[in-house]
Structure 1
Amino acid sequence: MGIEKDFEMTNLSLNKYLIANIGNGCKAKFCLDTWVGNGPLKERFPALYALARNNNCKVSEFWRRIGEIEMWDWVWHRGIRNDEERDQHLELIEVLKDQRLKESEDTWKWKTRPNEEMTVAMDTAKSELVRMESYKKRIPDKVELNCRGINIEDLLCSRCERDEEWTEHLLLKCVLARATWWNIMAWLKLPNHEEHNSCEEMMQHIQEQNCSKDWKQLITAIIMITMWQIWKSRNELIFKGLNGSVTRTVDEIKELSFLWIKERSKLKNLDWERWKDFNIRDIIK
C-alpha cells in the first residue's frame, strides 16, 4: 500500500492503526496484522510465533479445506514440545473456531474511525485452496498435471521415486505413504489399508462398517487429515526441500486430529494422553 512508506518515514507502524476485515484472506498477514482480537496474533501467541516457519504468510495460507472439512492449519519448523506452546495452540484454536474465509476481498479500516473502510484490491488471481477430495481425482499430482497439458519431465513419485506419481500411488501405494497408513491404522486399531485399491474404496469401506454415525465421522475425519498430511509432506519436499520422516508425519496427524476434533466435535473433554493411544471407545460409540 502506498501509505505504508509515509508511516515508515515517521517510524510509526501501520499495523497499529489498521484492522483487517477478512474476506478471502489474500492480503492480510496472519501473524503481523490485526484481523482477529485487539492486536496481531504474534503479540498474543509469542511462543507459536517463534515456531512459525514463515511469519510473513497471508491469512489464506493457513486455511485448509479437506473434502467437506474446513480448518486452520499451521506450518512450524518443529512440533510442540512444552505446556506453554500447547496451551497457546489450544487457545489459538478457540480464537479462530468461528473465523471463516469468504469470496470477497479483504478490506481495512482505521482503528480511530471504525466506520470507514479502505479496500485493498487484489493484484493477482485468488489464491487456490487445495481441495483434498482425492478420491474424486482432484489432486494435481504429476500424472494429472501431465494429462492437463503441463509438461512434466519426471513423472516419478517425488517421495519414493519408484513409480509414477498418480493419486492412489501418492496417497496409498508409495512406500512412505504405506508406512504412514500402517502406523495410523495400528493407532486406530483398524485393519491395514492395503486391501483398498483407491481412496474412494477406503472411504466407502468406513461407511459400510457396523458402527455409529459418530464413530464413522471421527474415523473419516482422521483419514482425510492423514491424506492431507501425506500431500503436505510431498509439497514440502518439492517446494521447500524438506524430507519429513514418517514418524513426524504420524505425530502431526495425531496432534492435528486431536486439536481439530476437540474443537469441532462434541468431545470437548477429550484427553491427549488417552488420544495418543486412541483409547476413546467408552466416550464415543
Structure 2
Amino acid sequence: MAPLSPTVARWELMLRIKRRRSEFDVSASVIAKELGFTLSYWSKVEKERILAEDKLKRLMSLLEFDPAERDEMLRLREIAKQRGWWSSYAGLLSDEVSRLYGLEYGAHNIRSYASVLIPGLLQTEDYARAVIANDTARVRQVEIDRWVELRMRRQQRLTGAEPLYFTALVGEAALTQRTGGTEVLKGQLRHLVSIVQELRDSVDIRVIPFDAPGGALLAGASFHLLGFENMLLPDVGWTETLVHLGVIEDAEPVRHLSTMYANTIADHALPRDDSITLIERKLGAL
C-alpha cells in the first residue's frame, strides 16, 4: 500500500466531485451559486484549492453522496490539508513540479523510460549532482545541494514497508555516457546492479541495447507513467524535456504513452538478467 499523499488525496476528492457532477449533469454555475462562490473562484477550487468543511458538506448534499462516501471525502479533505515532505522545498519547485512529486509519493507503481540518463529515482548522489549541475536553465549554482538532497529524499519511496513498484527502461547510451566522469559512472552502474539485487521484488531495470531495431525511436526522450492502488484514480503521465516538466492527465495521451511503453519500447528491451549482465559488462570495460 502506498503512503498517504496530500496531493493524491486532493486529486481523488475533486475527481469524485467531478464524476458526480457529470453523472447528475450539475453545472459549475449551479455549484458556485450553492456555495456562494463566483465562477472564477470555483474554477480555482477545482484546480488548486481545498474546500472548507462546511462548503464540502453543502456540496456533498447537493450532489447526493451517500453517508459512507461523505465520510471518506471528509477523510480525504483532512489528508489534503496536510503538508507533504516536498513542501519543505517549495522555494525550489514550481507548482507543477510540486504536484509531480506529490503524485509520485502516493503512487503504487511507476513505469519509466529514459534514453540517455539514468532515471532520478535510481541515481547515486554523485551522478545526480553531475546531472543537476548541468541543468543551468532551471538550477542556480547555490541551489545544487538542495536539489541533490531533494532527489535523494524522493528515493526513499523505493524502500521501506510500502515500497514503490518501479520499472525502468533505459537506453544503452545512459550506461555509456560518462556523466560526471568515469568514476561517477562506475559508481552509478554499481548502484544499478546493487539496487536490483536488493529490491528484486519491487525494482526492475531493462536496457534497450544499441542494436535493438527500435532503440532510437525516442532518442533523447524521457517519460513516466504513474499508477495508483485506488481503482478510482487513472494512470497519469509525466514528461520531461530540457525546457518542460509536466503532468499529463488526459486519457488519450496517457493511453498513447502506455501503448508506446508496452508495444514500442519494452519489446526492444533486454530481459532483466540480460540487462544486468550488460550493465556489469559496461562496468568492467570502464
TM-score band w.r.t. shorter chain: under 0.3
TM-score where L is the length of structure 1: 0.26
TM-score where L is the length of structure 2: 0.26
Q: Comparing both chains, which one has the higher relative contact order based on Cα–Cα distances under 8 Å and sequence gaps of 6 or more?
A: 2
